[in-house]
């Protein structure tokens, strides 16, 4: 287990999977009294929460986040999530986060946002 910029990561060398508690997280709070059902809805139910978390936590510093991942000195074939709900949707979340990071890097270079 290691920490990068306050992010806890776990690497499983046999499967070459990097698990992160922050890079692929979403903070979701159901309405008061509602039952929080993590088994339903999938990507469509939580995509706005994942994007909001990304915009707040990672988009302001895409270069630093990329540099931190490079310093882990591992070869990860897969990136997974330690926390629910991302754990069940790893590939879809990863693909979107990668797209968002690429967009955030472009905004940082240009000095503006969409």
DSSP three-state, residue 24: coil
Residue 67: its pLDDT value, please? 73
Q: Where are the domains of the chain?
A: 2-26+43-110
DSSP three-state, residue 112: coil
pLDDT in tens, 5-53: 445 666 767 767 666 666 555 666 667 776 656 556 666 777 787 788 7
Residue 99: its pLDDT value, please? 74
Q: How far is CA 97 from CA 13, 23, 57, in A?
A: 23, 8, 12
Of 60-64, 66-70, 77-81, the range with the lowest mean pLDDT is: 77-81
What is the C-alpha to C-alpha distance for residues 80 and 98, in angstroms, rounded to an integer? Answer: 13
- Say if residues 22 and 84 touch (Cβ distance below 8 Å): no
pLDDT in tens, 75-111: 665 554 444 444 445 556 666 767 776 776 655 555 5
Question: Regarding the domain delimited by 2-26+43-110, which CATH topology (the fold level of the hierarchy) does it fall under?
Answer: Metallo-beta-lactamase; Chain A (3.60.15)
pTM value surpassing 0.75? no
């Amino acid at each position: 287990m290691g920490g990068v910029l306050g992010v806890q990561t776990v690497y499983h060398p046999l499967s070459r999977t990097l698990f992160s508690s922050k890079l692929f997280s979403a903070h979701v709070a159901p309405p008061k009294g509602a039952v929080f059902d993590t088994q339903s809805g999938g990507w469509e139910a939580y995509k706005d929460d994942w994007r909001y978390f990304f915009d707040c936590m990672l988009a302001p510093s895409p270069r630093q986040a990329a540099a931190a991942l490079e310093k882990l000195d591992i070869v990860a074939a897969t990136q997974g999530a330690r926390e629910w709900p991302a754990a069940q949707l790893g590939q879809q979340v990863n693909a979107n986060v990668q797209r968002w990071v690429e967009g955030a890097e472009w905004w940082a270079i240009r000095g503006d946002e969409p």
